[in-house]
């Protein structure tokens, strides 16, 4: 039930009602009847002060009650204490890493710590690399700032912050620069704490492997029993943004799971895949604003799907219905629920806004 807190006016009225009709004899023998509602009287001032102070106590108690529950604790309040109690620290922002192809016109060595940039974002080489004239070398780099802004797709061109003789071109290699993630969102963090409460350690069940994979850096996880035979476990993972992990990220997750799993547990961390779900939707009314709102709703729904989760046509319809101003709609595609393979996460594909012919 909701903790109902009276307003200061209600507290004042209660205090005044308590005083109503009470009398006392003054030192001059006059009979005085108390009335806290009479402005500028002593009892009026006392009632106002009482109402203000007690209201503050009520609001403090309500905040304390909220902080004592994981579901309502705040980021600046006791949520971190709940997280510590259940062994679920907030995931910090991470630095994107990857490799950049550097083509040289003369023999050169790119020193460790060389800065590359695109716009205001910078990356630093993490090792010195020697490159022969006319050849292309691979420079290992890490973003200088943590977060998703450090992620780059394959082929992205970078420039040197300080010129280096002999460098012809710099481009992100086919693996991309990945792994950069922002500080974990509060509600995602809260959900992990609640999950830890509901699914306490169980000696290596599916919930345990899922928690270990997320603690190791994964965002989306599916645990598959008997992955390559009896007694083996497949942990299918994707990173933030439904991006496949690179080799370093896979190794990091594998190492963390190996440090937590049962001694005889045969666990294999495997990169997941994505599958786009194309949709055909007819809206009424069909406006650019309505379309944008539908896309936002669908993006949220598909973001919440984990690896192997089914996208239900009825849920897609529910998300379209949730858009403000929508009168009616028809969904022509997908024609039915979409259930992926156990190593695949569904993502939003192409959305068309007319009925198929």
pLDDT tens track of the chain, all 357 residues? 466 889 999 999 988 888 887 888 888 888 878 888 888 888 889 889 999 999 999 999 988 989 999 999 999 999 999 999 998 899 888 899 999 999 999 999 999 999 999 999 999 999 999 999 999 999 999 999 999 899 998 899 999 999 999 999 999 998 889 888 889 989 989 998 998 898 887 788 898 999 899 888 899 999 999 998 888 999 999 988 888 988 888 999 999 999 998 887 789 999 999 999 999 999 999 999 999 999 999 999 999 999 999 999 999 999 999 999 899 999 999 999 999 999 999 999 999 998 776
| pLDDT per residue as tens digits for the range 226-255 | 998 888 999 999 988 888 988 888 999 999
Quick one: tokens of 109?
A: 């060595």
Cα distances (Å, whole numbers) of residue 209 to 98, 120, 166, 322 = 27, 39, 49, 35
Q: Max CA-CA distance within the chain?
A: 112
DSSP state letters, 248-302: HHHHHHHHHHHHHS-TT-EEEEEE-EEEEEEEEEEEES--HHHHHHHHHHHHHHH
CA distance 95 to 148: 8
Q: Rounded to an integer, what distance in angstroms lies between the CA atom of residue 69 and that of residue 79?
A: 9
CA atoms within 13 A on the CB side of 115: 10
Secondary structure class of 82 (helix, strand, coil):
helix
**DSSP conformational letter for 133:** T
pLDDT of residue 1: 46
Give the torsion sign (CA, 14, 18, 21, 26).
negative
Strand order in the sheet with 115-118: 159-160, 115-118, 121-125, 136-143, 97-104, 167-172
* C-alpha neighbours within 13 Å on the C-beta side of residue 322: 15
Residue keyed to tokens 């802004």: 149
Measured between its terminal Cα atoms, the distance across the chain in Å is 53
User: Structure tokens of 188?
Assistant: 């995602």
- Distance CA(214)–CA(87), nearest Å, equals 13
197's enclosing H/E stretch is helix 186-198
Structure token pair of residue 212? 């270990």
As a whole number of angstroms, the distance between CA 47 and CA 41 comes to 10
């Amino acid at each position: 039930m909701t903790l109902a807190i009276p307003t200061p006016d209600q507290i004042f009225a209660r205090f005044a009602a308590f005083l109503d009709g009470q009398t006392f004899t003054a030192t001059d023998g006059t009979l005085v009847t108390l009335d806290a509602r009479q402005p500028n009287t002593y009892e009026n001032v006392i009632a106002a002060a009482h109402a203000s102070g007690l209201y503050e106590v009520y609001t403090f108690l309500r905040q304390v009650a909220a902080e004592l529950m994981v579901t309502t604790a705040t980021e600046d309040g006791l949520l971190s204490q709940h997280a510590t109690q259940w062994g679920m620290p907030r995931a910090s922002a991470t630095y994107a890493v990857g490799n950049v192809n550097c083509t040289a016109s003369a023999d050169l060595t790119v020193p460790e710590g060389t800065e590359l940039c695109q716009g205001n974002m910078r990356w630093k080489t993490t090792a010195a690399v020697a490159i022969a004239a006319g050849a292309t070398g691979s420079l290992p780099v890490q973003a200088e700032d943590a977060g998703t802004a450090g992620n780059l797709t394959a082929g992205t061109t970078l420039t040197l912050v300080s010129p280096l003789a002999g460098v012809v071109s710099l481009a992100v290699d086919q693996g991309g620069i990945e792994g950069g993630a922002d500080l974990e969102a509060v509600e995602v963090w809260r959900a992990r704490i609640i999950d830890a409460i509901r699914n306490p350690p169980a000696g290596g069940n599916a919930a345990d492997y899922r928690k270990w994979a997320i603690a190791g850096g994964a965002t989306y996880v599916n645990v598959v029993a008997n992955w390559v035979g009896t007694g083996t476990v497949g942990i299918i993972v994707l990173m933030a943004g439904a991006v496949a992990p690179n080799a370093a990220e896979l190794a990091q997750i594998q190492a963390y799971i190996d440090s937590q799993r049962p001694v005889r547990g045969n666990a294999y961390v495997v990169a997941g895949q994505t599958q786009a779900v194309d949709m055909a939707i007819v809206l009424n009314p069909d406006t650019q604003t309505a379309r944008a709102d539908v896309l936002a709703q669908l993006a949220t729904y598909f973001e919440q799907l984990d690896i192997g989760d089914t996208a239900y046509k009825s849920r897609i319809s529910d998300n379209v219905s949730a858009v403000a101003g929508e009168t009616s709609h028809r969904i022509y595609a997908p024609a039915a629920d979409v259930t992926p393979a156990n190593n695949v996460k569904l993502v939003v594909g192409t959305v068309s806004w007319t009925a198929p012919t």
